Amino acid sequence: MAVRVRLRISKDDKVEEVIALINSGYEADTPQLMIPIPLAKRLSVWPPPPNSKEEIFETAGGPLRVWVIRDGAKAKIIASDVESKEVVIDLVISPLADEPLISDVLADEFEIVIERFAEGLWRFRWEQAGKLRKSERRRPLI
């Protein structure tokens, strides 16, 4: 099982709640959220705006062309009983992504601790070690 969390993303006057996968293998230098094109459309960042930069990311599957919007939005985790702090994020638009992906740096900014990957258990760093949260179920983007 993977660890997924509910995110609230805000971009200007647009607000979207999505389920995002925490991907420790997605190494970044900044807090990045990779998003599929349908979500980029809902956030009004597709087609890519003039302030985006086309880049090539090296991935396990080979080179991937993406569009990066630095400081493109804000996001926070919405849990059943608490919310994370809001973080300014880089939006990374991918034509191959089929769900939002949280980078390693963004997971750190949200103060996420993965307790058990196989069981999908996590907590916030500031919570007691015994506080275990269950992964959200994957939900297709509509």
pLDDT tens-digit map of 92-123: 999 999 999 999 999 999 999 999 999 999 99
Quick one: which of 102, 127, 129 has its CA closest to 3?
102
CB 84 within 8 A of CB 124: yes
57 burial type by CB count under 10 A (0-12 exposed, 13-18 middle, 19+ buried): middle
Domain enclosing residue 28, as ranges: 4-131
Q: Which of 41-45, 51-55, 68-72, 137-141 has the lowest mean pLDDT?
A: 137-141
> Does 85 fall in a domain?
yes
Q: Can you give the CATH number for the domain in which 64 is found?
A: 2.40.70.10
Rounding to the nearest 10 degrees, give the CA dihedral for residues 86, 80, 34, 36.
-130
Model confidence, pTM: 0.96
Confidence at residue 142, expressed as pLDDT on a 0 to 100 scale: 63
> Does 136 fall in a domain?
no
The count of structural domains within the chain is: 1
Confidence at residue 1, expressed as pLDDT on a 0 to 100 scale: 76
Q: What DSSP designation does 127 have?
A: S
Task: Dump strand ranges (E) for 1-142.
Answer: 4-11, 14-22, 32-36, 53-59, 62-77, 87-94, 101-102, 112-116, 121-124, 133-134
> Does 27 fall in a domain?
yes
Number of neighbouring beta carbons within 10 Å of residue 17: 10
pLDDT tens-digit map of 6-32: 999 999 999 999 999 999 999 999 999
Confidence at residue 141, expressed as pLDDT on a 0 to 100 scale: 75
Residue 117 C-beta-side C-alpha neighbours within 13 Å: 5
> Does 137 fall in a domain?
no
> Does 141 fall in a domain?
no
139 pLDDT band, cuts 50/70/90, is: confident
